[in-house]
Amino acid sequence: MTKEEVLAKLKFDVELRGLSKSTLDEYLTKAKLFQDYFDKPATELDVEDVRQFLHYLSTVKNLAPESVNSYNSGLRFLYGVTLNASLNPRQIPRHRKPHKLPDILTKEEIQTLFNACDNLRDKCILMTLYGAGLRLSEVASLKVSDIQSDKMQLFIRNAKGSKDRYAILSQAILEVLRAYWKAYRPKEWLF
């Protein structure tokens, strides 16, 4: 099997399982880089090559543990599903992530951030991101009909993992969203 045939089969397997487009792109990128590193198709590489590649990513490329683990996941899928070859998880361990508490902004820092926005649209996007705990892609895909002011919640479509969910809508965000709607009158998409 050639490198291109391996990638085509991988693409087919990801699509067959209905995984997201971003997962498809990630797995294809990881598999391509892995094959290019050795300049061989994955069918000619084994567990020791996977170990060497992950070690290279960690030590030479200095990738973060999360990044190395995303390569690990992509290669496990490639071998376990696409090539139907089992990899011993003890031979290919996942990187341990350091568990650090996040830096939390003070109320003053948050207010400074909101006040730095020079237009209502940007301020509304930023407040919705922060206040409702949304991802950027979730805010970008909000529709006007997703605002449920009577229940004080936002309906989030196709969140991570292609799952729908609800987010809490605070009174402050609702007031800014109302002001935004009065100023811009969006039809279907909120932003």
pLDDT at 13: 97
Distance CA 7, CA 21 (A): 15
pLDDT band at 160 (very low <50, low <70, confident <90, very high): confident
Q: Over the stretch 90-129, which tens digit does the pLDDT of each residue have?
A: 888 888 877 888 888 899 999 999 999 999 999 999 999 9
pLDDT at 92: 85
Concatenated DSSP letters for 146-187?
A: GEETTTTEEEEEEETTTEEEEEE--HHHHHHHHHHHHHH--S
- Indicate where the chain has its CATH 1.10.150.130 domain(s): 3-82
* Protein fold of 107-184: hpI Integrase; Chain A (1.10.443)
Angle of the 47-59 helix axis to the 21-38 helix axis, nearest 10? 100
Q: Over the stretch 35-76, which tens digit does the pLDDT of each residue have?
A: 999 999 999 999 999 999 999 999 999 999 999 999 999 999
Q: Which residue has the higher pLDDT, 134 or 88?
A: 134
Arch. (CATH architecture) of 3-82:
Orthogonal Bundle (1.10)
- Indicate where the chain has its CATH 1.10.443.10 domain(s): 107-184
